[in-house]
Amino acid sequence: MAVIESWRKLTEEGSVALMRRLFSEVGRDFMPRYAYVIVINLIVASATAASVWLIRDVVNEVFFEKREAMLYLLVIAMAILGVIRGVGRFLATVAMGRIGNAIVARMQNRLYNHLINLGIDFYDRTPSGELVTRMGHNSTAARDVLHILFTAAGRDLLTLIGLVVVMVAQNPLLSLVVIVLGPIAVIGIAHLVRRVRGVALAQFNSFARLTSDMQETARGIRVIKAFNMEPTMRQRMADAIEDVRLRSDKIVHIGARASPLMEILGAVSLTVVTFIAGYQVIYMDVDPGALISFVAAVGLAYEPAKRLARVQIELEAGLVGVRLMYELLDVEPTIEVPEQPQPLRLADGTVRFDKVDFAYDATGPLFRNFDFTAEGGKVTALVGPSGSGKSTLISLIERFYGIGGGRITIDGQDISTLDTSSLRDHVTLVSQDIVLFRDTIRENIRFGRPGASDAEVEAAARAALAHDFILRTEDGYDTHLLDSASTLSGGQRQRLAIARAILRDASIILLDEATASLDTESEHKVQTAFDHLMQGRTTIVIAHRLSTVKNADKICVLVDGEIVEEGSHDALLAADGAYARLYRLQFRTDDAPTTDVREPAE
């Protein structure tokens, strides 16, 4: 009844369905390799059973009958069987290791390919430490679950079956005693399984927190040291490590309970078997060789039986990771993909927002019936307090997020109907958040246009005023950047990002505080390069320093998701509205109040 109840609970809680899905999506592709391992394990199990069977003949023919010929024959046979077992186990171990590595690699590729297709909103709400942990933990969990299933079936179960056959053949009565005592272990195991699921999930969450804290330390080490935060961070990390340790201890504690249960049952079984065997030899004239062979089979069956008793506990611990993996793989991208995506066909590159609604979450919309136009071939600047929606507007043009209503069009084409790659091929983004990748300086620039020649890369670097400082690095353009290029200054990193944008040579340019980290002289020179780049292209510029947008064709003042003013620099100053107040505040030419325009919220 305990076995039936345990299986019913397993089925109700979805573990069987989860294993079925894992096998159909992953395990089935590796069946030829697993079959190879199973065949080898079958040979090893047969050799093990044969070795035990030979003990009867060794005892009877050699020890009792003292036949010399049988001694040599049996010794050679046992040696050959030992070699078969050893070679077989080596081959099976190597094969299982390679299968495991292949499964981990496949699942990591699948997870990464899925993650990179998800929208920005997913990354906004998911800690990076959790994603890093899932890439490693969930992939190995898939491998472990399949290995447990196939190892249990292909090694332990086959070995146990072979030994049980020997036991039954040698002494049916004693075999019945051992087989009756075995299911008692299932009662205790079923209780342990119910506890291991929750503890394994808590262990994963604790490890994800540990990874996140380590990432925060690496990213924020300068702030940590500048504010003497070392004691605080040490305590946070110590708490996270202690939490992982406690969860791991619980897993060990729960898993270890299966061993004493099997030890006790093993001792009881051996005691009963020894008594009955001795009684049969003394009073029933039973063949002593058969009894010794039987006892040897019981001893050898102990280890595979103990491992099989732990299978369900180990499976449940592994299935936690598999369940989390599929939870991640089942996340659907929030950006709807059109059934027949169209390529972007550019004319002049006019970008238009037509009654657009957008909200990040349920707290309320950022844009409602929002209208905005960036005319093709001209420079449109967005100014206003932080948090008013300027960067969001650029993100919506790149289609990082889906909108709740209205349309965003480029030359009249609704971007929701476009092929996303085609859309982004015609757009260049230079953000205030500089991201450089673990590669050479040359390749980091070449990411702007893969396939560009070295001469084109260097020309873009010169235009961005990056060429001279690049040559001063250790290996020039071949210098490898590590850890987000932390050895470069903020201005140097930004100039590499600008060089990447210049190399892309797109028709629509989005600049989000693109010169924020440059000194005044470098900013002036890079702005000159930008002026050349922006000629005849649609350009949308976000700037807090109004001096950088004075020459824009149109300036839009964005406050709380609404455009409150738009026009040229001179026209807006003459209107003496929100822009004029921002301008006077920034250049301190007037002490006029600024109640109509909020202070930055970020």
The pLDDT of residue 256 is 62
User: Among candidates 385, 185, 350, which has minimal Cα distance to 265?
Assistant: 185
Domain co-membership, 483 together with 544: no
Least confident of 110-124, 200-214, 231-245: 200-214
Please provide the DSSP assignment of 540-569 as one string. Answer: EEE-SSGGGGTT-SEEEEEETTEEEEEE-H
389's torsion region: left (phi>0), alpha (psi -120 to 50) or beta? left
Domain co-membership, 457 together with 493: yes
Rounded mean pLDDT, 150-168 = 76
396-410: per-residue pLDDT in tens?
999 988 888 999 999
CA distance 597 to 602: 14
67 neighbors 311 (Cβ within 8 angstroms) = no
Tokens representing 136 are 């490693």
Which of the four pLDDT bands, split at 50, 70 and 90, describes residue 601? Answer: very low
- Residue 357 sits at φ, ψ, to 5 deg, of -110, 140
Cβ-based burial of 25 (10 A; exposed 0-12, middle 13-18, buried ≥19): middle
Higher-confidence position of 267 and 382:
382
Please provide the DSSP assignment of 78-109 as one string. Answer: HHHHHHHHHHHHHHHHHHHHHHHHHHHHHHHH
Rounded mean pLDDT, 428-435 = 83
CA distance 449 to 433: 20
255-266: per-residue pLDDT in tens?
666 556 666 666
CA 274 from chain centre, in angstroms, equals 54
The pLDDT of residue 588 is 63
Cβ-based burial of 459 (10 A; exposed 0-12, middle 13-18, buried ≥19): middle
β-strand pairing of 554-559 with 379-383: parallel
Which of the four pLDDT bands, split at 50, 70 and 90, describes residue 182? Answer: low
- Is 362 among the domain residues? yes
Domain co-membership, 460 together with 416: no
Predicted TM-score (pTM) of the model is 0.73
257's torsion region: left (phi>0), alpha (psi -120 to 50) or beta? alpha
Contacting residues for 477 by C-beta, under 8 A, at least 6 apart:
440, 441, 442, 454, 457, 458, 461, 470
Which of the four pLDDT bands, split at 50, 70 and 90, describes residue 596? Answer: very low
106 neighbors 146 (Cβ within 8 angstroms) = no
Indicate the residue among 329, 355, 385 that finishes a domain.
329
The pLDDT of residue 353 is 95
Please provide the DSSP assignment of 411-425 as one string. Answer: TTEEGGGB-HHHHHH
Helix (H, G, I), strand (E, B) or coil at 301: helix
Indicate the residue among 269, 302, 329 that finishes a domain.
329
Q: 512 pLDDT exceeds 80?
A: yes
Domain co-membership, 397 together with 460: no
Domain co-membership, 224 together with 194: yes
Domain co-membership, 159 together with 299: yes
Domain co-membership, 318 together with 357: no
550 neighbors 541 (Cβ within 8 angstroms) = no
Place of tokens 């873009």: 460
The pLDDT of residue 439 is 85
Which of the four pLDDT bands, split at 50, 70 and 90, describes residue 595? Answer: very low
Which structural domain, as residue segments, surrounds residue 565? 337-426+535-594
Our count of domains for the chain comes to 3
Q: 380 pLDDT exceeds 70?
A: yes
Tokens representing 510 are 């989005």
Contacting residues for 479 by C-beta, under 8 A, at least 6 apart:
440, 441, 470, 473
The pLDDT of residue 397 is 93
Domain co-membership, 7 together with 38: yes
- Is 223 among the domain residues? yes
Domain co-membership, 489 together with 422: no
Domain co-membership, 91 together with 225: yes
The pLDDT of residue 48 is 82
- Is 601 among the domain residues? no
The pLDDT of residue 599 is 37
Which of the four pLDDT bands, split at 50, 70 and 90, describes residue 185? Answer: low
- Is 81 among the domain residues? yes
The pLDDT of residue 501 is 87
The pLDDT of residue 254 is 65
- Residue 349 sits at φ, ψ, to 5 deg, of 85, 30
Mean pLDDT of the chain: 79
105-135: per-residue pLDDT in tens?
898 889 888 888 888 888 888 877 778 878 8
- Residue 135 sits at φ, ψ, to 5 deg, of -55, -40
Tokens representing 179 are 């087989």
Q: Report which listed range, 9-13, 183-187, 190-194, 579-583, is most confident.
A: 579-583
Domain co-membership, 434 together with 422: no
Contacting residues for 267 by C-beta, under 8 A, at least 6 apart:
none
The pLDDT of residue 412 is 92
Q: 11 pLDDT exceeds 70?
A: no
CATH (domain of 444): 3.40.50.300
Q: 469 pLDDT exceeds 50?
A: yes
- Is 522 among the domain residues? no
Tokens representing 224 are 């940590």
Q: 33 pLDDT exceeds 70?
A: yes
Domain co-membership, 224 together with 84: yes
541-573: per-residue pLDDT in tens?
998 888 778 888 999 999 988 999 999 999 999
- Residue 508 sits at φ, ψ, to 5 deg, of -120, 125
39-89: per-residue pLDDT in tens?
888 888 888 888 887 777 777 666 666 777 777 777 788 888 888 988 988
Contacting residues for 343 by C-beta, under 8 A, at least 6 apart:
418, 419, 422
